[in-house]
A and B are shown apart, each in its own frame.
Chain A
Amino acid sequence: MKRVVITGQGTINALGHSVPETLAAFREGRCGISELEIRDVERLSIRIGGQVKGYEPEAHFNRQQIALYDRFTQFTLLAAREAIGQSGLSFQGESAVRAGVVLGTAGGGVNTWDENYRVVYEERKNRVHPFVVPKLMNNAAASHVSIQWNLKGPSFTVATACASSNHAMGQAFHMIRSGMCDVMITGGSESMLCFGGVKAWEGLRVMSRDACRPFSANRSGMVQGEGAAVFVFEEYEHARARGADILAEVVGFAMTSDASDIVMPSRQGAARAMAGALADARLSPEDIGYINAHGTGTAANDKTECAAVADVFGAHADRLMISSTKSMHGHLIGGTGAVELLACIMALREGVIAPTIGYEEPDPECALDVVPNEAREARVDAVISNAFAFGGLNAVLALRRA
């Protein structure tokens, strides 16, 4: 089996429009959640989110591109540009054929759906823009990355709600490990902070009106975010031969299904996914220094996740660190695992653990070291990143220091 390493990373999210800005926010424990600035916000009961602010599409794309790129595609292309730029790769001839792109998104072009439903239902128009379909389709972002960077190998999009990015990155990992590809552009993107997108989430009644406080006894639910993170996964020898800067190694991946409930998480399903990722990576529980939690800030997730961590890690659960960066960037739904992988790589590469901010009151059912409120310096050699989706679909990645 081939070894898989990460040689580039890029992002845009509520914490920053680049990786350096985002990592600075992680180190400072800065919150990117703020008042939503969207049309008809006054008709929403949830008015906060991890919204990307100070973003002007016109600064990055021309008029024709904006007509074709939904916001989730724009975010993806900006993150991909940063990641591929850092890797130093370009794709021609055989290298193009041996490279692909697999991305996660739950909703795809939600803003495009929202805007055009308004046009036909609210404004009663009977004609929509010709590019509505290619703009809203879930694979639009993956396709535009493939087109822009000449990636001619396998490309597709994975939609498994909140686990989409982890499932996508797991596929990319498998495709390189098996020898199918040399390079995969992977990660995920989401942008559903529009009236219809937030209204749909309001319906479930699990959204917080004030803050995302994972693992804190006074938690009040989840907060949505938006943005993208994209990585360059590369076969180890391929990266070494060209002298690439290796950010981290991807060593394991596992996916499980709860086969029980469409919204309530399962302790056993989560535990099987974490244990599976460790086994796949040939790591023992004691090797793991940090877990980037799914940590949504709902009672159902946080209690179940902590119980599953205790099941898998035993006494070591009290020694490792586990934090939820959703407290800072919000829950990016299908893009969340990708943004959270940035915190995993920061832990391995820089020895800085991103905190769980907004932590106010210990919860006896979440009695782990959640790195409350302030980042911490600590050397860790291996980490896992959890994602547990609605529908009971779990995906966990394991990474090791390069």
Chain B
Amino acid sequence: MSTSVKDKVIEIIAEQAVLEPQDISLDATLEDLGIDSLQLVESIFAIEEAFDIQVPFNANDPSASEFDISSVGAIVRAVEGLVAEQAA
């Protein structure tokens, strides 16, 4: 994981969870962090804005989306993938 993507994603999630970035562990789930569906949609929006990417995410059924939101680490890896695709 590149530090910059990881740090930025964690910063975005921490802001939504009203926590400090150092309190966000990579194996935490969004549920662990108390992030609800609206905060999740806001996080996805913030990620898209920060990295200028399109995140394939449908709030109607998040588990069916290609974008893995099962943990903070999964989100970081998914964003890294999208950023790499963008650069390619």
On whether the two chains bind one another, the answer is yes
Interface centre among B37, B58, B60 (most CB of A within 10 A): B60
Measured between C-beta atoms, what is the minimum distance from A345 to chain B in Å?
31
Considering the chains assembled together, what is the distance between the CA atoms of A125 and B53 in angstroms?
32
Q: Contact mask A252-286 → B, CB, 8 Å, 1/0?
A: 00000000001110000000000000000000000
| Binary flags per residue of B56-88, CB closer than 8 Å to A gives 1, else 0 | 011111000000000000000000000000000
Q: How far is the CB of B78 from chain A (nearest CB, A)?
A: 15
Interface string of A37-76 (1 = CB under 8 A from B): 0000000010000000000000000000000000000000
- Are B38 and A220 touching (Cβ within 8 A)? no
B58 touches A220 (CB 8 A): yes
Q: Which residue of chain A is the closest to B44 with respect to CB atoms? A: A205
In the bound assembly, the distance between CA atoms of A299 and B60 in angstroms comes to 6
A262 and B41 within 8 A (CB)? no
Q: Give complex CA distance A221, B41 in Å.
A: 15
| B38 lies within 8 A of A206 (CB) | no
| A241 on interface, CB distance cutoff 8 Å | no
- How many of chain A's residues have a CB under 8 angstroms from any CB in B? 16
A298, B38: Cβ atoms under 8 Å? no
Q: Which residue of B lies closest to A219 (CB)?
A: B60
Complex contact A204–B59 (CB within 8 A): yes
Q: Which of B38, B57, B61 contacts A262 (CB 8 A)?
A: B38
Chain A contacts of B45 at CB under 8 A?
A: 203
B58 near A263 with CB under 8 A, answer no
Nearest B residue to A45 by beta-carbon distance? Answer: B54
* Highest count of chain A CB atoms <10 Å: which of B54, B57, B58: B58
Determine chain A's interface SS by DSSP, over half rule: loop
Q: Main SS of chain B's interface residues?
A: loop
When A203-B45, A205-B44 are in contact, do A263 and B38 touch as well, CB less than 8 Å? yes
Closest beta carbon of chain B to A46's beta carbon, Å: 11
CB pair B60–A264 under 8 Å, yes or no, is no
Interface string of A213-250 (1 = CB under 8 A from B): 00000011110000000000000000000000000000
B54: chain A residues within 8 A (beta carbon)? 45
Compute how far the CA of A221 lies from the CA of B58 in the bound complex, rounded to whole angstroms: 8
**Which residue of B has the minimal Cβ distance to A297?**
B60
* A146 CB within 8 Å of chain B: no
B61–A220 touching, CB < 8 Å = yes
B55 closest partner in A (C-beta): A205
A391 smallest CB distance to B (angstroms) = 13
Q: Are A220 and B37 touching (Cβ within 8 A)?
A: no
With contacts A203-B45, A205-B44 taken as known, whether A221 is within 8 angstroms of B37 at the C-beta atoms is: no
Complex alpha-carbon distance, A45 and B57, angstroms: 12
Give complex CA distance A263, B58 in Å: 15
A267 vs B64: C-alpha distance when bound (angstroms): 24
Residues of the A chain whose Cβ atoms lie less than 8 Å from the Cβ of B44: 205
Closest residue on chain A to residue B40 by CB atoms: A205
Cα distance A27–B53 when bound, in Å?
44
**Chain A residues near B41 (CB, 8 Å)?**
203-205
Chain B positions within 8 Å of A264 at CB level: 37
List the interface of chain B (C-beta within 8 A of A): 37-38, 41, 44-45, 54, 57-61
Q: A221-B60, A263-B37, A299-B60 are in contact. List 9 more A-B contacts (CB 8 A).
A: A203-B45, A204-B41, A204-B59, A205-B57, A205-B59, A205-B60, A263-B38, A264-B37, A298-B60
What 6 pairs between A and B have smallest CB-CB spacing?
A: A205-B59, A221-B60, A298-B60, A206-B60, A206-B59, A299-B61
